A = this chain, B = another copy of it.
Amino acid sequence: MSEPIRLEPDALLGLLAGSTTRYEKRLNELEGLYRDDVAFRAALESDDGEPVYWVVASTPDDEAGALTIGMSVLRPGRIGDEFAMTRGHIHVHHSAAELYYGLAGRGVMLMETTDGRSSAIEITPGVAVHVPGHWIHRSINVGDEPFTTLFCYPSDAGQDYRIIGDADGMASIVVTSGSDQGWELRDNPDHRPYGGVPR
């Protein structure tokens, strides 16, 4: 039986006091994530080697009903006209839901189902998104500051990171719009139906 845990996010520094696990991704691990390969190569050449995003979390138990609570930090940036994003995933147990609550910055939770439904919800500090089961989801930083969220999901949910790559990306991409600091959804011409036959 685990002890209760006090967790205190420091959104400015991207730290979560009380967390015990850390997961991070650097730009050189994100090949193929963005559509503009020339822009990606250029970004890699000037890359500082620091993580693009990281996830710190608390997972004290593995029994039924256990929760993983943590914080996700995604640095701002663009590759071509696409904003910085996480790889995204669907839960291995498809019916597992997830909470994201905005702590800092400005982002979008892009969500899609394998049968073609789509939803994009902007998250700013104080806004939460309830991601139900069965939705593929990805965080995108559409602002100029780190985009930081508190999250919570069933510890046995599991993350399937391959589903998006196998479909050559999500059906929608989040790109800069003409107006200042704007974003918009655009159809991803490379996308093939989820669960289709790999090329």
Question: Which residues of A does B touch, CB under 8 Å?
Answer: 1-9, 18, 58, 60-61, 63-67, 69, 91, 93, 95-99, 101, 109, 111, 113, 117, 119, 121, 126-135, 150, 152-154, 156-157
Contacts and interface: CB of A to CB of B under 8 A. Distances in A.
B150 A96 contact: no
Contacts of A61: 95, 97, 132-133
By Cβ-Cβ distance, the 3 closest A-B pairs, closest first, are A65-B96, A2-B132, A5-B130
Given A5-B130, A64-B95, 6 more contacts: A5-B129, A8-B126, A66-B132, A67-B130, A67-B152, A152-B152
26 contacts: A1-B133, A3-B117, A3-B119, A4-B121, A4-B130, A4-B135, A5-B130, A5-B132, A7-B130, A8-B127, A9-B126, A61-B95, A61-B97, A63-B95, A65-B91, A65-B93, A65-B95, A65-B97, A65-B133, A65-B154, A66-B133, A67-B130, A67-B152, A67-B154, A99-B152, A101-B150
Nearest to A122: B6
Contacts of A101: 101, 150
A5 B6 CA distance: 27
Contacts of A9: 126, 128
Contacts of A119: 3-4
A129 B6 CA distance: 5
B67 A1 contact: no
B95 A128 contact: no
Contacts of A8: 126-128
Contacts of A109: 4
A84 B165 CA distance: 52
Nearest to A115: B1
B128 A65 contact: no
A134 B95 contact: no
Contacts of A18: 130
